[in-house]
Structure 1
Amino acid sequence: MAETKKQRKVIFQKEEINIILEEVELQKHIIFSRFKGSHTNKEKQKMWDDIATKLTATRGIKRSGNEVRKKWQDFSSLAKRKRALQRTTINKTGGGPNDAPILTAEEEKALSILGTTASDGICGGIDLHGGEGLRQPEPESGPSCSQEQSGSPPIDRQLPSPSPPNSPTDQPPSSIVQATATTPRFENICGCSQDLVQLEREKLDVLKDIRQSLKEANEMNYNFQREIIELKKAKMALEERRLSLEEMSFARPSISVPIILPDESDPGEQTTNLNQ
C-alpha cells in the first residue's frame, strides 16, 4: 500500500504578508496586550481568525488563524535576527566588505510595528522566538515571497561568515564586555529566567480568574440569602396579620335575641280567654 504523501503548504505571498502587517498594526493593542486570561486569549484568537478569513477571500487559499499567527511570529523573528546581524556587522572592528543582510520593506514595517525595544532588543535579553524564523522551511509549492518579489538571495547567503577571533589586546573594552555578555551560558540563564517569569505571570492570571469567580459566586450566594430572608419576613408578616384577625373575631361581643315559644295549653282555653 503506497504511503500518502504529505500535502505541501502553500507559501504566503507578498500580498498576504502585507495584509498581515496591516491588520497586526491595526490590532497591535490586542496582540501586545499585557493582560492575559481566557477572555483576552479568545479575543486574540478571534483576531487571527478574522485575518485568516481576509487572506482566504483575497487569494482563495484556505488559511487558518494558527497559520497566520505562526507566520507573523516567524516573519517578525527573522526580521529581528537580521537587524541584530546588521548591528553585529557594523560593530565589527577592522575593514572588509559589508556583508550585513538587507531588510526588505515588509521586514522594516514589521520592526516598526514591534517598536524600538522589541526590534533592537534589551541588553542581556534573548528572543524566545528567535530560532523559529531561521529553521529550514518545509517544502512548499511556489517560489519564496522574498525571493520572487525582491530578488534578494536567501538569508543563509546573507548571513555574515564567521571572522577569525581577534586577540583581547586588539578589541576595545566595550567589545570584550559585549562578547562576555552574549555567551551561550548567559543566554540560557536569561532564557530560563524569562520562562520562569512568564510561568509566574500565567499562574498569577489564573489565580486572578479564580478569585474573580469566587467573588461572583459569593455575591450570588449573598443575594440568594437576602431573597430568602425577605421571603421569610413577608411570610411572618402574613402570619401575624392572620393571628390578629383571629383575635379580633374572638373578642367581638355576641348579641342574643330571645325566642318566645307558644304556650302548650289547650287551644279552647286560649279562645275563651280571648272572648273574655
Structure 2
Amino acid sequence: YVNYLIVRRLEPAGLISTPVEQFSEASGLRISTIALVAFTLFSLLMGLNVAGEWPQLLLFLNQSDFGVADPVFGRDVSFYVFTLPVLTIARGWLQSVVIATIIMVVVVSGVGWRGWRVRTGLLLHLGVLGALYLVLFALGYQIEAANLVYSQRGAVFGAGYTDVNAQLPAYNLLTIVTLIAAALLIVTAYVRRAWRAIVVVLVAWVAIAVVAGSIYPSLVQRFQVSPNELTLERPYIEHNIRFTRMAYALDNIVVKPFEAAQRVSPEAVLSEPETIRNVRLWDYRPLLETYN
C-alpha cells in the first residue's frame, strides 16, 4: 500500500480513464479505498500461503546449536535444520510480494500502455524494486550453495568434489554478478545510458548461469571426477562416514576384548539345544554361485 501511495504521488494521472476510475465513480468509493481493500485481500492470501509453515518457524525461533559444524562451510548443523528452511520460505514469499508490487506500480503509473516516458522518480522507484528482486535472487544462489550439503551428485550423499570445486564457485560468481546488476538498476534512474551496462551484465549473467552453473560442473564430474573418483572423493567419503557414525552414536563405541573359547565341548552342545537347532547349514553349491 505504501508503494501505491508513492506511485500515485509520482504519477497522479496514471489511473485516469481506466476501469479502476470508472468503478470508483460508479461505486462512490475513493480509489485509495479500493486499493486498500485489494491490498488487504492480497495480504490475506499471501498470509494463508505461508500459514502452514508455522511449525518450521516455531523451530527456528526456539533453535539451539548442535555443537557440530559441517566440514564444507563450517556452520553449525542447526543452521541446516532450523535456519535454512526458513530462509528458503522467506525468500520465495518475498519474491512473490516484490513481483506483485512491480506489476502494481507499472499498472498504476500507466507505464507501457500510456507511453514509455518515465520520470526519474518513478524510474528510481522501479529500479529499487527491481534491485530488491535481484538481491533476493542473489540470496537464492547462496541458499542453493548451502543446499549442496544435500547433494546426491557425488559418490556419497552430501557435497562432493564437483559440488565444492565447481558448483560452489559458480554460485558465488552468480551472486556477485546479480548484485552488480541490482546496483546498476538503481544507477539507471540517474544515468539513463547505464541501461547498456545492465544489458551487458544480464547477458553475462545468463552465460555464467548456463556455462559455469550447469555445463562446467557436469564436465568436471564426467571427465575429472569419474575417472579418478576414489582419490578425489576420498575426503568427502570420509566426511560421510564420520557424520553417519555421529548420527547413529557409533562414534562413542567402547571396544572391549572378549575371550571366546576356541572349542565347543559336547556338554555345551547338549546344554544349548535351541541354539544348535537354529544353526544354519549352508549348501556349498548355491554358496559358491553366490560368492563367485
Would you call these one fold, judging by a TM-score over 0.5?
Answer: no
Structure 1-normalised TM-score? 0.26
State the structure with bigger RCO (CA 8 A, min sep 6), 1 or 2.
1
Structure 2-normalised TM-score? 0.25
